[in-house]
Structure 1
């Protein structure tokens, strides 16, 4: 067995190869290009023609480098960068060659404890990337919304009260048509009502009167240069926000299409409160490889729902797990929150934790920890959620514990 440490970068990769005795057989650098990847493959196979004889250690499980290694048949073992940081010498010396050799040494000493990378099925991989990318777009939409609100507060604060939400499609169109207080004051009630009817507002006449009345109340007015500058910024933000929201809707369609194609979609769609965006995210993060997780405890650790113990002398307490798959943790956290309004036992469990002094988020993590065990059993047995089955299993557990 040979141990390959690869310190990856955008432009080149440093590679160190050790044998089982720790002797360095090769050290070289390859560019991040197709020919560079071929050089990496040829230099490794010149040591041993069997790709399975190598264990490749790299600080990522994504990217073109990892994809090339997997397609070439090399076993890949992704490592958390923090693991490498902990193994550094006391001097704190760091360089690409040092990191490559350190990765190879970690593989040589700890290979039995490392997990070989097994890629997701294509459908799951695409669904996972789409859901995570959509989360990024949703965060961008939130950022633009906050900037839009801040911008309106600087020169046109009354506009924030015209609609229930400033980001409604009709509200954004209204801001484009009436970007300043002066313009909306010039409009008549029938003109505003006609605009609202055109954009299918449910109560155009009443809302038009309300907007007209609010606009003609005494207002704090910004200076003319401020109005001109912030009006331009507001229109730019509205344009960006409309594009991002349109793309989010397009993502929803594609995510739902892929989700429906998977045989496990019925399992996650049966979860109470998971309809819409949560069910595809749970499927994508959970995957469909039944051999991936030994038990529910592994999933609880990956999803960050199970706490970790911190103990020093007589000081002992449990705290939130920091090292986990963040999108998985977020999906489970949101699902637990949705379930307390849908499932009686979930509400009861949440209330019990709150009565014990737990914070809102601590109670949700505890509830999510329970849900992981429930979903794991459903996923393992390929069955849909049945509350009666869960209640009966909980009763048996309580009787056994008693």
Structure 2
């Protein structure tokens, strides 16, 4: 194995690339991490062939280059696409790895050529562990839609909180009106009646008739009577500049409605794109369309990982062995793809949740039993969840590799570790 690694080093030039919005910097290393040269070029397709020309200067007969890029989905995507289309070997280098080299250096440095050299050193040291770059359009657009959805969802949450604040000034008992503030019925009500003064002379029958359509014909006369009764008991809340205050609430409602519409449109597109991939992750308990899209956006084509172990390392779930001499201990990894790590964490938590009520039952008995066994064995709650996360990596890897649906495992009296 050592001879094979040595042969790879001798037959390749390792090109670490530091990526920026306007320009990139490449550093060329041989297989023993000796710097051969550096090259700066603009971040535009017309300049990318110049990188090839520069690389050729360091290639001897029978040698090939291997490129390492940190950000293949952002500033480095165009370069990654160019390199892959030209049949070059391109590896995705997690940003935490070269950052570790920078910190380990006695004199902490931060400039483009040094950053590129750190990427190149990771490329030499961990070539077999690094996944191939994934600049495929389908996965990239899924990633962009997921990012857009996350931003809109954040805006929606902020708008909803602001609406809560505004409504508290107008309707002290507004929380008792509807079960969900951002539901269709609630938004329709507050858009039409931003303040209690707009309900003047409205009867319960009229209010029920108004709410019947947005509530999908579920609003009852009793609900309308309850709202009017609560408004009456709250008293008069009309103040100066009422027109402007009404506008603020109606503006919040409009933006919330628009955000929810945008989220719905994005989720429809994600569902269609997920179907194209052939992955059936949303057949698993705890994975909806949005979560499935998150996994696919971060993992991409599963073929770039040759085993679930590599996917676990990429996700920052595989433990790190640290020690000296006869003393060794496994520690939680803080490297890896943190977005993917968070997805596995949330999925693990969902597996051990229990239903509400007197007859509460585990949502996934297999993982709940496994979790309890780990706790009984002396694991902390966090450690037990990490154990579940590692099992889920195997499940996700198998489902994506085989394009298969999820099959819930049976619970046995004693689960294997």
TM-score range, shorter chain: 0.7 to 0.9
Matched residue, 2:272 = 257
Distance 1:220 1:134, change over 3 A: same
Matched residue, 2:6 = none
Work out whether residues 132 and 327 of structure 1, in 8 Å CA contact, stay in contact via their aligned partners in 2.
no
SS in 1 for 2:28: strand
Work out whether residues 155 and 230 of structure 1, in 8 Å CA contact, stay in contact via their aligned partners in 2.
no
For residues 307-340 of structure 1, the C-alpha deviation after alignment (integer angstroms, 9 at most, x for no partner) is 5567799999876543233333333334334434
Matches of residues 2-401 of structure 1 in structure 2 within 5 Å? 2-19=13-30, 25-45=36-56, 48=59, 53-62=64-73, 63-88=77-102, 89-107=105-123, 109-110=124-125, 112=127, 115=130, 117-119=132-134, 122-199=137-214, 200-219=216-235, 221=237, 223-225=239-241, 230-265=245-280, 268-274=281-287, 276-283=289-296, 285-290=298-303, 292-294=305-307, 296-305=308-317, 320-340=332-352, 341-352=362-373, 363-377=384-398, 379=400, 384-387=405-408, 390-391=410-411, 398=416
SS in 2 for 1:224: coil
For residues 91-136 of structure 1, the C-alpha deviation after alignment (integer angstroms, 9 at most, x for no partner) is 32322233234444554x5264552524265544444443444334
Post-superposition shift, 1:155?
Answer: 4.6
Matched residue, 2:8 = none
For residues 224-282 of structure 1, the C-alpha deviation after alignment (integer angstroms, 9 at most, x for no partner) is 25x555543333322222122111111222222223334342xx344234355444544
Post-superposition shift, 1:287?
Answer: 4.5
Work out whether residues 273 and 342 of structure 1, in 8 Å CA contact, stay in contact via their aligned partners in 2.
no
Distance 1:77 1:260, change over 3 A: closer
Work out whether residues 52 and 75 of structure 1, in 8 Å CA contact, stay in contact via their aligned partners in 2.
no
SS in 2 for 1:27: strand
Separation of aligned partners in 2, 1:357 and 1:154: 51
Separation of aligned partners in 2, 1:138 and 1:130: 12
Post-superposition shift, 1:355?
Answer: 6.9
Work out whether residues 208 and 220 of structure 2, in 8 Å CA contact, stay in contact via their aligned partners in 1.
yes
The range that moved more, 244-253 or 110-119, is 110-119
RMSD: 3.9
Work out whether residues 185 and 215 of structure 1, in 8 Å CA contact, stay in contact via their aligned partners in 2.
no
The range that moved more, 74-83 or 192-201, is 74-83
Distance 1:264 1:135, change over 3 A: same
Separation of aligned partners in 2, 1:39 and 1:344: 58
Work out whether residues 57 and 79 of structure 1, in 8 Å CA contact, stay in contact via their aligned partners in 2.
yes
Distance 1:336 1:95, change over 3 A: closer
Distance 1:127 1:220, change over 3 A: same
Separation of aligned partners in 2, 1:97 and 1:234: 52
SS in 2 for 1:80: coil
Work out whether residues 93 and 122 of structure 2, in 8 Å CA contact, stay in contact via their aligned partners in 1.
no
SS in 1 for 2:91: strand
In the alignment, structure 2 segments of 5+ residues that lack a partner are 1-11, 353-361
SS in 2 for 1:141: helix
Separation of aligned partners in 1, 2:230 and 2:39: 71
In the alignment, structure 1 segments of 5+ residues that lack a partner are none
